[in-house]
Structure 1
């Protein structure tokens, strides 16, 4: 269960400094008095599309309520599974999207985890420094906040309870139980989805989704063990069969996506200077679960919402901000500047000038287009800040058609403004909330709860909000001028004072002055 114990916030700096590695034990004893919020009520729009099994029915014996939505769910995961670079190969090679997906299976692994793999979002140079610093013990406060195993923020949300609530079968499970999966998985199938799959080009004649099962691989690249005293190769496996936790656990929501969102938003708030790139890399983790054929896009979107919910709770707590997040940011910035030998801004500029910013080409330029020419999945190429923000935005909806009311006004959750504290420290909470409102995606997509009383987590676009040019107006309101750029708050224009009119002098009468007449 991914929860933080309910006790006063403490920072055990001594224990953190003693730890020689981020993975040699809990480096920072951080906890919050904040009760981790429940993710299930925020993502329960899924019940509009699927009714879970009840009573003594088999685990995944639910009912399809919206075939169109769940069919799109199927189509996207099957396409990604077959079109990521390296897909379908008998061996998994470094440098492919499939290999990166296998590295991202290490949610809270004993050697490396998502808080390290997502570090590549900092770019080639700064990412390498970050990974080394996490591994050699140089960043204890950062580790104490971000670790998905026991970090204050990285392990804040419980997603297992939600999986139990919705009970949706994984994409790789057969629609009919005539395939031997392995002893632990033999009683699990997706027969309730057979009717929406039969005859589809992304399904087999048996009604199974076309899913290529990625073989095991050993990671001997050393990419995420740099800085460790004695690094060893890491065995990576999806465990499609013989692993009760994967085939028997519900697909919705994605635990990896939830954890990646917690970790990614945490890192983005610690380094808002690179927020769009970090968030794009964090969203790769959700993509990677589909590349491996173990999750659907709705699972990924729901997990992303859970991360937003958790970090908004923590960033709304002033004590957590002052005693945990701000010290971690100070530590991380100081470390990166020391390694780079310049200011953080200058280091980022130099990295970008050298073409070493975060980049990605997950599908080798391919895209999924429907019969009407609508792009369901773009190539999702990341090459700069603007494209990183655009890819993140696309992954908020994954090409789904709208199912709810469209054209509704923005609906920002109450605590969400805290997510922008580090990005725009000079703005008020209301002004930050306005930035979130102006950058929200449109209403009506699956899982959107606009107008239901608590705001819409699904519509929040943090990559856009954290990379905005914001105009401060004279009346105290703010206007978002652009996104996907270097974040900036433009001061309100100074009013030009109205000049005081100069009195016009009265002209003297023309001609010689008349002398008074004196009688005498």
Structure 2
């Protein structure tokens, strides 16, 4: 250990030995599989297994042999020997213990006001109440239904001199007689008679950090009144708050496994806040987590609690998860949750003992995954724990049974290795995780995976397991390039779904039987299934072109394989997402299978498979950029009236003569855009409005040099550019019918219902005969939905949502509200809704940047900094800015797993955002290959990133302001001068006082929000 210097009084009462706490957090993520892991029960210590005698954890038992909590934490005795009094023990490993206290000193010197606020609330509130925040949007629903409350609703003005206690002192925090009473009782049981940390505190008699420093300035000022006046009974190790927070969270996670990782992250946050508070050290918090993990497993394994835990789970799913909550969910960022939880497992301590000890799994630990992975057997859950545990050697964590090395966040993401063959059987009829689950870990090992049952299992990691993969039933989805490991893949009768971004590789051969289905989801021309060995084809091939990629005439490679190693053909082929004017044919070549796409006018073929060997395929053309829609056109119009039938369907037909007339009138316009507006007026009882044109009429418009056709209905307006109209005309076989229909909310998910409320929901379609024209050969349509904001609605938070086939809302981040309508542009037609996604931050509602913050937050482009705070005046870092910029771009960053910089590591929450920005040449590192993610970004660096982004997006910055020469123009770096000038003229960035730009100065989070919101709004207008 390096931190051996003493902590001394300084300006803040502390000497900061370093600017940040350093250590080996990344090492903690390594799993025991690489050094051997065992699911066999570890040998019982002399005192027995923890789960068998956890009820001996009582104050009367004050020794390693009599108290199971004291002995599970006995690794602390390698570091510290208790003395005869609270203040005279002996350090056995000074470097570890000095680092332990210095960590708190470093945090105390750098914590923010927001950190201190969170620390106060965690300290003073009932821990069971605090844990419910991990329920996200459902937190307030749970609290209301159970009567779980706190009297600490804010920080009193006199908190620095008066100690305030929570009026809710109950461990279970809620009412056992409530409709969720069993959930309440499960928390109370886990936090029951055997869960106190006091016996262990008394035994180890290790001081709190501020007593080691002899300086109470280490403590958050509002918590100084909470300092105990009896240090002899106020030990630091283990942390009682941390223990209670984890126990409550484990109880909630058992009942609501859908929030498993979020609840664990919240528990780790509560534990970490004890360090921020200055009340506890990292080792104290680690000890609290370990004892809580063992106590939770023991209590949940106890047969006396079997009925209670089942009742709690049933209540949660019948009465809680069916509700729609509105509370803020601070734990939506998976990568951030993972990085924070992983770092808090070891807090950067060096490994001080053997680093190669095999992972062992404690007796009963598998119960902790019982509801999270219900489709696995107990032995399989033990294997998951064994292959996801952290490496050995860390202080305190190498207890004989293995409690300290469990990594439950990683375990929730499935196996870390297949050390033997694994058969997974899932039953979709049981719902929940029985029906669908995702394994996100990078799975190693020599074993084989066999998928049985009707459920859907997704593999999302960079997997290297070599034993092969077999699908006998249900669905196995591969969501990464190497999801299926390095062995052979055999599909005997299920569905193998490829959903990787870009190329996916099967390391061996691929064989599919007659009852199997291979589903390829094609997002781009590079989206290819690469088979290293042979392909033995049979069964069904389903090819789905995604909405983001519409193929054109030519050849698309679907899969490749070894030359001459193709046997058999797929018995059936289905193709979706190809424009209707094209024919498709699957062709088997010497080393690949391609899809030939031809115009129907040039070929009489049809969708199917074949054995021809065509010439070299032509490349897929680059998609046309999203077009602009003029806002001040010349317009010629036709208005018709449609009567609604008994079902509310109103139909109108515009005859060819009318279309011919308006087309000729439009052609006579010499300057400006030629626009034809077709308006349908319908009675108030109409629920759907359709307008039909003949094929000849559409051809007339298409050939008549009309720039836009605008279809106006009472429910919405479609603006169709000439390029899109041409694609519709070519795809149409007969008459063309446009329909805009009101839709109900019955099929919406609870989340969608919450966001949409009573606002408009529309089905928009274009039909030709029996065919639906949902895409337009790369073209786009602008849709305007009339909407009058309710009183008090923030128009910045009004957005449009695309509703998918499962009723789930997907925010259209380029949608906006203006002048009584919500506008967005789309390249396909489907179900759309107007929604209200107002995300409020308690520290920003009256801030000058509130409107910009609201605008970005509503479109899921920014998030807060914790505790319902945005921290608008806090400096923004380079990593934070990269993340928001990726949100503005609508970037899908889940596939970015490799860092371009030496200081951006695997597990860092910002890695995918920085990697995305690096790939698109938006950011560059220093000469030492560093990105410096946590350094505040300078104003000129922001300007350069924004300019590079607009260049990459092919967006032309407007010049709405005159060029300015700043007073400190010479201070602007040469590499940033052009970017600053362009953004200044676009009114995205401006100077400060005295006409200074301050290029090297930082920007606040609010200033960054303004720049990005203005840029995004400009992009929407173009």
Same-fold status (TM-score > 0.5): yes
Choose from 463, 471, 475 the match for 1:493.
471
Q: For residues 252 and 473 of structure 1, what CA distance do their matches in structure 2 show?
A: 37
1:50 aligns with 2:87: no
Cross-structure match for 1:326: 310
1:107-506 alignment, distance < 5 Å = 113-123=126-136, 125-135=137-147, 137-146=178-187, 151-155=188-192, 156-173=194-211, 190=212, 208=214, 211-216=217-222, 237=223, 239-241=225-227, 243-245=228-230, 248-321=233-306, 323-340=307-324, 356-359=328-331, 384-449=333-398, 452=400, 455-468=401-414, 475-476=421-422, 482-483=440-441, 493-494=471-472, 496=492
Change in Cα spacing, 1:337 to 1:429, as seen in structure 2 (3 Å) is: closer
Choose from 83, 101, 105 the match for 2:123.
105
Cross-structure match for 1:35: 55
1:60 is paired with a residue whose SS is: coil
Deviation of 1:239 after TM superposition, in Å, equals 3.4
Q: Is residue 51–residue 64 contact of structure 1 (8 Å, CA) maintained in 2?
A: yes
Q: Is residue 145–residue 179 contact of structure 2 (8 Å, CA) maintained in 1?
A: yes
Q: For residues 210 and 75 of structure 1, what CA distance do their matches in structure 2 show?
A: 14
Q: For residues 230 and 270 of structure 2, what CA distance do their matches in structure 1 show?
A: 19
Deviation of 1:270 after TM superposition, in Å, equals 1.4
Change in Cα spacing, 1:133 to 1:492, as seen in structure 2 (3 Å) is: farther
Q: For residues 248 and 344 of structure 2, what CA distance do their matches in structure 1 show?
A: 17
- When normalised by structure 2's length, the TM-score is 0.32
Q: For residues 238 and 420 of structure 2, what CA distance do their matches in structure 1 show?
A: 44
Change in Cα spacing, 1:209 to 1:68, as seen in structure 2 (3 Å) is: farther
Q: For residues 244 and 160 of structure 1, what CA distance do their matches in structure 2 show?
A: 16
1:73 aligns with 2:90: no
Deviation of 1:285 after TM superposition, in Å, equals 1.6
Q: Is residue 272–residue 466 contact of structure 1 (8 Å, CA) maintained in 2?
A: no
Change in Cα spacing, 1:209 to 1:424, as seen in structure 2 (3 Å) is: same
Q: Is residue 105–residue 238 contact of structure 1 (8 Å, CA) maintained in 2?
A: no
Q: For residues 415 and 93 of structure 2, what CA distance do their matches in structure 1 show?
A: 40
Unpaired runs of 5+ residues, structure 2, are 1-51, 58-67, 149-177, 425-437, 443-455, 460-468, 473-489, 494-510, 514-1022
Q: For residues 327 and 36 of structure 1, what CA distance do their matches in structure 2 show?
A: 27
Deviation of 1:492 after TM superposition, in Å, equals 5.6
Q: For residues 265 and 44 of structure 1, what CA distance do their matches in structure 2 show?
A: 23
2:318 is paired with a residue whose SS is: helix
Q: For residues 261 and 421 of structure 1, what CA distance do their matches in structure 2 show?
A: 17
Q: Deviations for 1:202-247, whole angstroms, at most 9, x for unmatched residues? A: xxxxx6468433334xxxxxxxxxxxxxxxxxxxx55354x33567
Q: For residues 34 and 61 of structure 1, what CA distance do their matches in structure 2 show?
A: 30
Higher CA-based Rg: 2
Greater percentage in strand: 2
Deviation of 1:284 after TM superposition, in Å, equals 1.3
Q: Is residue 387–residue 415 contact of structure 2 (8 Å, CA) maintained in 1?
A: no
Deviation of 1:423 after TM superposition, in Å, equals 0.9
Change in Cα spacing, 1:170 to 1:416, as seen in structure 2 (3 Å) is: same
Q: For residues 431 and 39 of structure 1, what CA distance do their matches in structure 2 show?
A: 27
Q: Is residue 471–residue 492 contact of structure 1 (8 Å, CA) maintained in 2?
A: no
Q: For residues 326 and 489 of structure 1, what CA distance do their matches in structure 2 show?
A: 27
Q: For residues 423 and 395 of structure 2, what CA distance do their matches in structure 1 show?
A: 31
Q: Is residue 261–residue 283 contact of structure 1 (8 Å, CA) maintained in 2?
A: yes
Q: Deviations for 1:33-83, whole angstroms, at most 9, x for unmatched residues? A: 9725521101111111111103xxx32201111111011101211222233
Q: Deviations for 1:317-367, whole angstroms, at most 9, x for unmatched residues? A: 34413x111111221222223432xxxxxx8xxx8xxx95324xxxxxxxx
Q: For residues 374 and 56 of structure 2, what CA distance do their matches in structure 1 show?
A: 25
Q: For residues 69 and 224 of structure 2, what CA distance do their matches in structure 1 show?
A: 25
Choose from 110, 123, 133 the match for 1:83.
110
Deviation of 1:160 after TM superposition, in Å, equals 0.6
Change in Cα spacing, 1:335 to 1:104, as seen in structure 2 (3 Å) is: same
Q: Is residue 122–residue 270 contact of structure 2 (8 Å, CA) maintained in 1?
A: yes
Change in Cα spacing, 1:427 to 1:82, as seen in structure 2 (3 Å) is: same
Q: Is residue 238–residue 283 contact of structure 2 (8 Å, CA) maintained in 1?
A: yes
Cross-structure match for 2:890: none
Deviation of 1:304 after TM superposition, in Å, equals 0.2
Greater percentage in helix: 1
Q: For residues 42 and 278 of structure 1, what CA distance do their matches in structure 2 show?
A: 24
2:285 is paired with a residue whose SS is: helix
Deviation of 1:466 after TM superposition, in Å, equals 1.7
Unpaired runs of 5+ residues, structure 1, are 1-31, 87-95, 107-111, 174-189, 191-206, 217-236, 341-346, 360-382, 500-520
- When normalised by structure 1's length, the TM-score is 0.61
Cross-structure match for 1:219: none
Q: For residues 312 and 340 of structure 2, what CA distance do their matches in structure 1 show?
A: 28
Deviation of 1:252 after TM superposition, in Å, equals 0.7
Change in Cα spacing, 1:336 to 1:483, as seen in structure 2 (3 Å) is: farther
Q: For residues 488 and 78 of structure 1, what CA distance do their matches in structure 2 show?
A: 46
Q: How many residues align?
A: 352
